Amino acid sequence: MKKRLSVLAISLLVYILLTSTEVQTCTSLLVTKGASEDGSVMITYTCDAEFHPHLEYTPVADYEPGDSLEITEWSGKVRGKIKQARHTFGVIGMMNEHQLTISETTFDGREELQDSTGLLHYWDLMELALGRAKTAREAIEVMTNLVAEYGYRSTGESFSIADTKEAWILEMIGPGPGGDGAIWVAVKIPDGYMSCHANKARIGEFPLDDPENCLYSENVISFAQEKGYYDRSSGEPFRFCEAYCPSTPKNQRYADARVWSIFRRAAPSKDFSPDYHRAVEGAEPYPLWIKPGQKLSVPDVFALMRDHYEGTDYDMTKGIDAGPYGTPNRWRPLDWMVDSVEYAWERPISTQQTAFSFISQSRSWLPDPVGGVLWYGVDDTYTTCYIPLYCGIDTVPKLFTVGSIKKFSWDSAWWVFNFVANFANLKYSYMMPEIQAVQGDIEETFLALQPLVEKTAVEIYESDPNLLTRYLTHYSVTNAEKVVGRWKELGEHLITKYNDGYVKNEKGRAEEKGYPESWLREAVRSRPDQFHLPENKEDVPETRLVD
């Protein structure tokens, strides 16, 4: 029996590469049991690209000996086949029925090491691991064994992998055209610590004799020496990130700035310097992991994933580039040239082209169907609303499974959230507090109800596991649909209240609000003669026609 890789990977990941001009734009945060307030292991994912995601559920399946699995292109063309597992697990989004969760960010690194003859892309590995592994360590084994047998097709990739007890970072890059397998290293984040990565390899030095906490390919160092990426005679320690993804002022600004912003907020007393992400000579790279200033709750992690460098020198809600109403969004491309000099906007964690994002909770003290929660949202992390999807459900909300980027539809959750976020750009400083009020009310309600919902779920699990599936599915799907309905109402309210640049008051009367004084001063400074309104005719500058 042949089976194609499920719709999950195609809908969420392959489509990115075929419809987006900018795909290397994700951010991932990892929180260990000892660093979380309730003992959860958490990872995050912002899948940042201009595409319309479809959330999918993949049920449990069993196969016969000798069955194969077809690996296909988006067009449907079969790229190759691999051996099928005898049993595959159920998967909701990027979390499986055993609470195993995987996310990623692309770092490219040495682009000459991409092997177009390899069979498996990074998204293939993610789905295959979710279908075949119960733990993070097993997932690493599945992924690395698969590339060893079938080859690795993508550029450099950082994976976040979490189960109920551990969180790991696996970094992988190809061997170049026609090479074998992949070069990789995986490290476990120490309990009590947190880590993050954002489109730049992060693993530096690593132990060669600690398999409990670090795994790696046999050629990880020798291959770098062979290629001239590392010189052992230099006396410098081997650092995976510098060998396979060398630091440059551009990728430090683009990627390390996000790492810095997460760390500075999670551990403010450490006073992390911005020097490294501004490429100041001699500045120390940020550590791979840190101990947060206080244990992190789920809403704390929500907040960390909502960031435009507010309150720093790089605050994107300030300055002429933020416009009169302080929008932090910068339209692509992020870099540009003026008089042969290159410039770049900041790249924040929250960005308008996020397709979907999640914060996962994996909890060892609860039955798997209850312990695993995927807090899922579509569009910009700053303006989305996270809904709880338990890994024990067997249906996903329809509004998150339909729609196309080619046509607006109120029936698509992605389009509903995009409508609100895009309209807010017209008067961001006015509308954002209203959006955040609704966002906060909904998320706080979900979080307040969570203990009661799960207490009931555990009681049902102990008496009737099948009923538990119905209970969790109804709770997750019904509430997701309600949130989308509430967001549609919010959009209709905003377009009514802020129509044509006016702001309607409590009585529904349109009021003129004009522009902030700081913006008006900037307008006058840039073109004083054009905007100056003279008191007398004598004050009007003479205008002459020029042949």
User: Is 351 inside a domain boundary?
Assistant: no
Q: How many helices (H) and strands (E) does the chain have?
A: 15, 24
DSSP 214-248: EEE-TTTTHHHHHHTS--GGG-PPP-HHHHHS---
Asked, for residue 438, whether it belongs to a domain, the answer is: yes
Banded model confidence at residue 14, pLDDT cuts 50, 70, 90: very low
Last residue of a domain, one of 273, 291, 307: 307
399 and 470 assigned to the same domain: yes
Same domain as 465, residue 374:
yes
Specify the pLDDT at position 533: 87
**43 and 185, same domain (yes or no):** yes
Using CA atoms, how far residue 53 sits from 15, 262, 404, 417, in Å, is: 8, 26, 8, 13
Burial degree of 116 (CB within 10 A; 0-12, 13-18, 19+): exposed
Q: Give the number of other CB atoms < 10 A from CB of residue 113.
A: 22
Per the domain annotation, does 527 fall within a domain?
no
Question: What is the band of 3 on the pLDDT scale with cuts at 50, 70, 90?
Answer: low
- Domain of residue 389, residue span: 366-501
Name the pTM for this structure: 0.94
In a domain, 543, yes or no: no
pLDDT band at 17 (very low <50, low <70, confident <90, very high): very low
Is residue 19 over pLDDT 50?
A: no
| Predicted pLDDT of residue 42 | 99
Q: Is 301 in the same domain as 373?
A: no
The answer to whether position 38 is within a domain reads yes
CA distance from start to end of the chain: 82
Domain for residue 35, yes or no?
yes
pLDDT at 535: 82
Going by C-alpha positions, the residue among 246, 248, 252 that lies closest to residue 274 is: 252
Is pLDDT above 70 for 475? yes
In angstroms, the CA 79 to CA 120 distance is 9
Residue 360 lies inside a defined structural domain of this protein: no
Residue 80 has pLDDT above 50, yes or no: yes
Q: Are 292 and 417 within one domain?
A: no
Pick 22 or 536 by higher pLDDT.
536
Residues 147, 267, single domain; the answer is yes
Question: Does one domain contain both 180 and 250?
Answer: yes
Calpha distance 267→425 (Å, rounded): 31
One domain, residues 23 and 130? yes
Q: Is the pLDDT of residue 76 over 90?
A: no
Q: How many domains does the chain have?
A: 2
Report the pLDDT averaged over residues 400-416. Answer: 97
Assess whether 414 and 302 both reside in one domain: no
Phi, psi of 372 (to 5 degrees): -90, 120
pLDDT per residue as tens digits for the range 96-115: 999 999 999 999 999 999 99
DSSP string, 116-139: TT-SB-HHHHHHHHHHH-SSHHHH
Average pLDDT over residues 131-139: 98
Question: Does the residue 108 lie in any domain?
Answer: yes
Q: Does residue 265 share a domain with residue 384? A: no
What integer pLDDT is reported at residue 175 of this predicted model?
Answer: 98
CA distances from 219 to 224, 235, 311, 440 (A): 8, 19, 44, 49
pLDDT at 20 over 50: no
Tokens found for residue 307: 């960031």
Residues 274 and 377 in one domain: no
Average pLDDT over residues 68-84: 92
pLDDT for residue 454 is more than 60: yes
Cα 333 to Cα 50: distance, rounded to the nearest angstrom: 13
Last residue of a domain, one of 277, 307, 337: 307
**Chain center to CA of 516:** 33
Q: How many residues does the chain have?
A: 547
User: Which H or E run contains 425?
Assistant: none
Euclidean distance between CA atoms 160 and 371, whole angstroms: 19
Q: How much is the pLDDT for 21? A: 40
Please count the other Cβ atoms lying within 10 Å of the Cβ belonging to residue 346: 20
Tens digits of residue pLDDT in 349-358: 999 999 999 9
Indicate if the pLDDT at residue 82 is higher than 70: yes
* Whether residue 371 sits in one domain with residue 303: no
Percentage of residues in the chain having pLDDT higher than 70: 94
* Residue at which a domain ends, from 288, 307, 326: 307
Per-residue model confidence (pLDDT) at position 7? 38
